[in-house]
Chains A and B, each alone.
Chain A
Amino acid sequence: MLSYLINGISLGSVYAIIALGYTMVYGIAKMLNFAHGDVIMVGGYMAYITSSYLGLPYGVAILISIAVCTLLGIFIEKLAYKPLRSATSLAVLITAIGVSYFLQNAALLIWSSNPKSFPNMVNFGTLEFGNIRITSASIITFLSCVVIMVALTLFTNKTKVGKAMKAVSEDKGAAQLMGINVNATISLTFAIGSGLAAIAGVLLCSSYPNLTPTTGSMPGIKAFTAAVFGGIGSIPGAMLGGIILGIIEILSKAYISTELSDAIVFAVLIVILIVKPTGLLGKKVTEKV
């Protein structure tokens, strides 16, 4: 039981770290960036290429991957989402799905669909307590989640730029009148979200070493579920939602059925949304992010 719980938490923290990126972008830009999972995949490939082909140390590879994804995020926002700033949210949503497919197929062209086995970039050994083993990848993923969650919360509440973000999320028009550069703020949000995606990509692939152009899509959907679960827009909610989702998934695999685990996860989501429509930590009059 305990080992399943630990497996659940380590899977959950992978979901959580992806969910943080989702919730960050949603909280401020009010849009579901479905391409987030695919930015994660790009992050994974960047880290793989820089370390395996160019032979750079893992630390440098991760930094390059973060930089590339940050630029990619800004680029996607400028090219695909900015022209739709005043369009309906449905149009933006469909565009996001389009971007997601674009990234997947571009990756298919560039890197082909042959799976690559990702090296464990955060391997510092394994903790052992009798029968229970915790890998460094799990610990680091969990710690990164906590650090990112705290940092993001402090950033949005204490810094000037962060407060500007909150203002934009509450009322774009009013924020502009108060002298906030709305476009720059939204770009920054995407930059941060995509940088987080690169970190998530490296951690995801270090735990589950299988890199293909569709690597990001399934975890992306699960993480989105986790974000909704915890209350989309809420940063601690994303973390909580991710961890709970991971635990439910592993426990239902272990004790009920491996095939039904996804169905159970989504059934729990439906129940939560019926009882508490804004998610676990979502507030009715949302103070987003």
Chain B
Amino acid sequence: MKKKLLALLLTGAMVLSLAACGADAGTADSAADATETQTETTETEETTEETAAAAETTDGAVTGTLKLGFIGPITGAAGQYGSLANYGAQIAVEELNALGNGLTIEYQPEDDVHDAETSVNAYNTLKDWNVQAIVGCVTTTPCIAVASEAYSDRVFMLTPSASSPKVTEDRDNVYQVCFSDPNQGSKSAEYISENNLATKVAVIYNNADAYSTGIYQTFVSEAENRGLEVVSTTTFTDDTTDFSVQVTDAKNAGAELVFLPIYYQPASLILSEMDKQGYEATVFGVDGMDGILGIEGFDTSLAEGVMLLTPFAADATDDATVSFVKKFNDKAGETPSQFAADAYDAVYTIVEALNAYAAKNGALDVTDLSAEELCDILISTISSDDFSVDGLTGAGMKWNASGEVNKSPKAVIIKDGVYVGM
């Protein structure tokens, strides 16, 4: 009896939600041009009429309910990354659900406070919820821990921003939306030398962190190739609050540019220390620097002129970015960072891959697919040569079988407290 009631209720809810989607579809379409397929509108009508049974009759479409999990530091020292990424993913989910083309995404975010152990717990919570694919984790160290669990469980992971090659290597089920660290390091050196930003460079990195160390290594080797002179290299560890030694060293060595392949929170302390010592050098960061303007109470004038390598600039004028920035502002009350854009692209990439698979192999109802079946589908599609996604963080993003993405880098500079494209 209970089951019947439940079934009735669920069908009712489904019909209602589909009907609602049908009504909304017109307004949402323009924003979501990235995934729009030709057949949408006709499908919507069909599915509304025939409810769940429509799945078998539509050709090459993806239907059913996809349980999508998200893991990231929504709070904590890296909270800027995770909370914004979460909003970004939510916007993508809302847009896709509003299309009303038979595919409904159930989305569940879990907070890992940038801690490996908490992250694995978050993953287990999602497993209990029967998650089918995961957008996450947002940061590298937790991602490595979760990726090895997900690898043995065969759950597909697409990380928006965990950039270390350690996340993807030897695991066929993990893919990245962001650049991998080696790419970030060498692209930074390339950018600095091609734009003649400096010849003498100082590097301060966190050698207790896989992300930071990874970027540092490729940066240094690429810098050497390009004739940049690294005059000061200093390190710190997670609990460090006093950066006087590192900054003094860079200053005494006469570095014109300080390269910071680190997260924004220590970066804010370094900027404040540079100000204290009256050291005026260009500061160049990578994706970890993104979020520095969002620290509560942070004096943004300290970050004036800071440059960072990022695939996403919120002031870009293309339609997709403008629409995303507007929606993001309405939802989160702030400007999206690249993490938000990466997560948005991650959700779309998964759905695009399902669409591509269905287009080739016929209709696909994802409701009853196990995480393992879905994992195989996604791996075979995403790593295939003819699959590419035009996202906010790059046009024609393609993936190789090792999980790394290929797209071109951009840099932004902080001017008057906002990120401006260069």
Which residues from A are CB-within-8-Å of B249?
254
Interface size on A, residues (CB 8 A): 32
| B297 with A118: CB separation less than 8 A | yes
Kindly provide the distance from the CB of B110 to the nearest chain A CB, expressed in whole angstroms.
16
Q: With A114-B296, A133-B276 in contact, do A250 and B245 touch (Cβ < 8 Å)?
A: yes
Instruction: Give Cα distance in the complex from A114 to B380, angstroms.
Output: 39
| B79 with A113: CB separation less than 8 A | yes
Whether A7 sits at the interface, judged by CB under 8 Å, is yes
Instruction: Give Cα distance in the complex from A211 to B298, angstroms.
Output: 11
| A7 with B297: CB separation less than 8 A | no
Which residues from B are CB-within-8-Å of A266?
none
Kindly provide the distance from the CB of B84 to the nearest chain A CB, expressed in whole angstroms.
12
Q: Give residues 193-224 of A contacting B (CB, 8 Å).
A: 208-212, 218-219
| A210 with B269: CB separation less than 8 A | yes
| B276 with A135: CB separation less than 8 A | yes
Instruction: Give Cα distance in the complex from A92 to B42, angstroms.
Output: 74
Closest to A112 in B: B75
Which residues from A are CB-within-8-Å of B265?
115, 210
Q: With A208-B241, A210-B269 in contact, do A258 and B295 touch (Cβ < 8 Å)?
A: no
| A126 with B248: CB separation less than 8 A | no
Closest to A208 in B: B241
Whether B207 sits at the interface, judged by CB under 8 Å, is yes
A-B contact count (CB 8 A): 83
Whether B237 sits at the interface, judged by CB under 8 Å, is yes
For A11, give its contact among B80, B236, B242 (CB under 8 Å). Answer: B242
Whether B400 sits at the interface, judged by CB under 8 Å, is no
Which residues from A are CB-within-8-Å of B77?
113-115, 212
Q: With A114-B296, A117-B268, A117-B299 in contact, do A258 and B245 touch (Cβ < 8 Å)?
A: yes
Instruction: Give Cα distance in the complex from A10 to B77, angstroms.
Output: 26
For A117, give its contact among B207, B234, B237, B296 (CB under 8 Å). Answer: B296
Q: Give residues 106-136 of A contacting B (CB, 8 Å).
A: 112-119, 126, 128, 133, 135
| A115 with B295: CB separation less than 8 A | yes
Which residues from A are CB-within-8-Å of B239?
218
Of the candidates A48, A117, A118, the one having the most CB atoms from chain B within 10 angstroms of its own CB is A117
Whether A3 sits at the interface, judged by CB under 8 Å, is yes
Instruction: Give Cα distance in the complex from A208 to B299, angstroms.
Output: 13
Which residues from B are CB-within-8-Å of A4?
245, 248
Of the candidates B235, B244, B278, the one having the most CB atoms from chain A within 10 angstroms of its own CB is B244
| B276 with A11: CB separation less than 8 A | no
For A126, give its contact among B80, B113, B278 (CB under 8 Å). Answer: B278
| A133 with B278: CB separation less than 8 A | yes
Which residues from B are CB-within-8-Å of A48?
297
Kindly provide the distance from the CB of B203 to the nearest chain A CB, expressed in whole angstroms.
13
Whether A30 sits at the interface, judged by CB under 8 Å, is no
Kindly provide the distance from the CB of A185 to the nearest chain B CB, expressed in whole angstroms.
35
Instruction: Give Cα distance in the complex from A118 to B316, angstroms.
Output: 32
| A258 with B246: CB separation less than 8 A | yes
Which residues from A are CB-within-8-Å of B276?
126, 133, 135
| A117 with B297: CB separation less than 8 A | yes
Whether A259 sits at the interface, judged by CB under 8 Å, is yes
Which residues from A are CB-within-8-Å of B80?
114
Whether A253 sits at the interface, judged by CB under 8 Å, is yes
| A259 with B75: CB separation less than 8 A | no
Instruction: Give Cα distance in the complex from A113 to B242, angstroms.
Output: 20
| B76 with A259: CB separation less than 8 A | no
Whether A52 sits at the interface, judged by CB under 8 Å, is yes
Closest to B207 in A: A259
Of the candidates B113, B242, B272, the one having the most CB atoms from chain A within 10 angstroms of its own CB is B242
Of the candidates B76, B237, B245, B268, the one having the most CB atoms from chain A within 10 angstroms of its own CB is B245
Instruction: Give Cα distance in the complex from A258 to B75, angstroms.
Output: 29
Closest to A111 in B: B296
Q: With A7-B244, A116-B296, A253-B245 in contact, do A133 and B277 touch (Cβ < 8 Å)?
A: yes
**Residue interface mask B259-292, A partner, CB < 8 A = 1:** 0000001001100100011100000000000000
Kindly provide the distance from the CB of A55 to the nearest chain B CB, expressed in whole angstroms.
13
Which residues from A are CB-within-8-Å of B246?
258
Q: Give residues 77-133 of B contacting A (CB, 8 Å).
A: 77, 79-80, 113
Kindly provide the distance from the CB of A49 to the nearest chain B CB, expressed in whole angstroms.
11
Kindly provide the distance from the CB of B299 to the nearest chain A CB, expressed in whole angstroms.
7
Which residues from B are CB-within-8-Å of A258?
234-237, 240, 245-246
Kindly provide the distance from the CB of A200 to the nearest chain B CB, expressed in whole angstroms.
14
Kindly provide the distance from the CB of A152 to the nearest chain B CB, expressed in whole angstroms.
26
Instruction: Give Cα distance in the complex from A117 to B268, angstroms.
Output: 8
Which residues from B are CB-within-8-Å of A119?
297, 299
Kindly provide the distance from the CB of B274 to the nearest chain A CB, expressed in whole angstroms.
11
Q: Can you give 7 A-B contacts (C-beta < 8 A)?
A: A4-B245, A52-B297, A112-B79, A113-B75, A212-B77, A250-B244, A253-B245
Q: Across chains A and B, which 4 residue pairs bring their CB atoms closest together, nearest first?
A: A117-B298, A7-B244, A117-B297, A208-B241
